[in-house]
Amino acid sequence: MFLFKRKNGTYYLQFKDEISGKQKAISTKAKFKPEALKFLSQFNSNLKANRERKQTVHYIEDLRSEVLKYVLDNMQVSTCQIYNRVLNDMLRIIGNKPVKLISAKDIEKFKSIRVSEVKPSTVNIDLSTMKAAFNIALRFDWISINPVKSVKKILITQKEYLSFTDTQVNLILNNIHNTTIRDFVRFAFLTGCRLNELINLQWKDVNFAEKLLTIRNKENFKTKTGKIRYIPISDSLFSLLNDILQQKPGVNVLTYFNPEQYIFRNINKYKYNKNYVFIHYDDLMNKRG
């Protein structure tokens, strides 16, 4: 740290920024050395006071740790996995920089590299996730501005939504000979439920009297939005529920009901793992070409 005089006659203070590690120079606004020395003395006093307050420098690794704690407490495991992936990619691409030094330029660099690795839609998910993560940093007063706020997402041309015809649905179902997988697929077509929702369905979620299926939050499962959803039970869905029960000899929806039991359960009478359904469905579809 030292004083020097520029051609305009003003003294400047050269010092090393403790956060960035870079050399910086600021004007003392003094043209006489005694006044410049007073500025230097005051600067050192302020620097000492800051050190005594032990201001903590928070890095991306710290942000990752805090964000994952928050997400684990408030969101689904799958959402936590997205945050974990995105923050790990930030560390890989941007490096473990202090959070307050992350700029829009750093985010643009991240965006540029990621678009060469994954689909634009995935990059947009990454940007949304990063923005949410930096909003948490804002709440902690780690930063004053969210660096992702000014970064635009990639423009993606909207595609026409695809849907299956009855013929296509029947073709798919007729080519699935694994009863469990076929029931999963039929249930999905009839309700629009996500796989994780189907796996966590229990008979207590079925109201036969009012013909309603309830997608609710549970101790080990949260809906994607955190909200409860109600789905009308159509005649086809009623028939499917009966088919599932009739896999147990001598019972049907009118004679059998065990509220805590999972609708889709394996030989150990417990719910299926999501990977089991994915793997078997993909295997069956690949064999059918």
> What is 166-288's CATH superfamily?
Intergrase catalytic core (1.10.443.10)
**Predicted pLDDT at 237:** 92
Q: What is the mean pLDDT of residues 111-128?
A: 94
Rounded distance, CA 149 to CA 189, Å? 38
Count CA atoms within 13 Å of residue 36 on its CB side.
19
Q: What is the mean pLDDT of residues 56-72?
A: 89
Asked if the model's pLDDT at residue 269 lies above 80, the reply is no
The domain limits of the chain are 2-52, 60-139, 166-288
Beta strand pairing call for 2-5 and 206-207: unpaired
Give the tens place of pLDDT for each residue, 240-264.
988 887 776 555 555 556 788 888 8
Confidence of residue 110 (pLDDT cuts 50, 70, 90): very high
Asked if the model's pLDDT at residue 220 lies above 70, the reply is yes
90: enclosing H helix or E strand: helix 77-93
Asked if the model's pLDDT at residue 213 lies above 90, the reply is yes
Confidence of residue 51 (pLDDT cuts 50, 70, 90): low
Asked if the model's pLDDT at residue 53 lies above 70, the reply is no
**Predicted pLDDT at 94:** 95
Burial status of residue 215 (CB atoms within 10 A of its CB: 0-12, 13-18, 19 or more): buried
Helix (H, G, I), strand (E, B) or coil at 54: coil
Query: Residue 91 pairs with which residues in a beta bridge?
Result: none
Report yes or no: 214 and 222 within 8 Å, Cβ to Cβ: no
Range from 51-65, 99-113, 144-158 that averages highest in pLDDT: 99-113
Closest CA to 238 of 264, 212, 266: 212
Range from 9-18, 72-81, 108-117 that averages highest in pLDDT: 108-117
Range from 17-26, 159-168, 234-243 that averages highest in pLDDT: 234-243
**Predicted pLDDT at 212:** 93
List the CATH code of the domain at 60-139.
Answer: 1.10.150.130
Give the tens place of pLDDT for each residue, 30-39.
888 889 889 8
Q: At what angle do helices 274-288 and 179-191 cross, to 10 degrees?
A: 100
- Residue 78 vs residue 58, higher pLDDT: 58
**Predicted pLDDT at 16:** 83
Residues 153-188 as b or e (16 or more Cβ within 10 Å = b): beeeeeeeeeeeeeeeeeebeeebeeebbbbbbbbe
Confidence of residue 230 (pLDDT cuts 50, 70, 90): very high
Q: Which of 11-20, 111-120, 222-231 has the lowest mean pLDDT?
A: 11-20
Q: What is the mean pLDDT of residues 46-62?
A: 74
Tokens of 238: 């009623």
Q: pLDDT exceeding 90 applies to what percent of the chain?
A: 35
**Predicted pLDDT at 133:** 94
Tokens of 148: 């992702």
Q: What is the mean pLDDT of residues 229-233?
A: 93
Average pLDDT, the chain: 85
Q: What is the mean pLDDT of residues 223-249?
A: 85
Beta strand pairing call for 229-232 and 11-16: unpaired
Place of tokens 């990063």: 130
**Predicted pLDDT at 52:** 55
Tokens of 287: 């064999």
